[in-house]
Amino acid sequence: HTSSRRVIQTGHMFDYNIMMALKCIDILRSLLFIPHTGIKLFAIFYTLGNIAALASTCFLMGPLKQLKRMFEPTRLIATIVMLLCLILTLCAVFWWHKKGLAIIFCILQFLAMTW
């Protein structure tokens, strides 16, 4: 019963991730060149989508098992880079107001997640 519930919750989180990814593409396409809005929204939604992706695997594996796997020696560098880029993306958007830096951190998030 618990495992079927986890699979269902993972499916819901996956759907949310897809929705966030599509929203990011839509925002990037339609709002990117609007001053002070487009890049901020893209970076925020992209980061939230990656956080949701991590949360969805927590439902499937459980949070402790996921954390153990994320911090295995073969994944340690990618995990640290990804977590730092999640934080730095939001810092670049909200505190530093550096749009270019936010995009660079989004690219680094992508690379770390696929590593």
Q: How far apart are CA 15 and CA 59, in angstroms?
A: 13
Max avg pLDDT among 16-30, 57-71, 88-102? 88-102
For 50-62, the pLDDT digits (tens) are: 888 888 777 777 8
Domain parsing of the chain, residue ranges: 2-114
Q: What is the mean pLDDT of residues 24-28?
A: 69
Q: Which two tokens mark 62?
A: 């459980």
| 8 A C-beta contact, residue 55 and residue 13 | yes
For 29-47, the pLDDT digits (tens) are: 666 666 667 778 888 888 8
The whole-chain average pLDDT of the chain stands at 82
For 70-88, the pLDDT digits (tens) are: 899 998 999 999 999 999 9
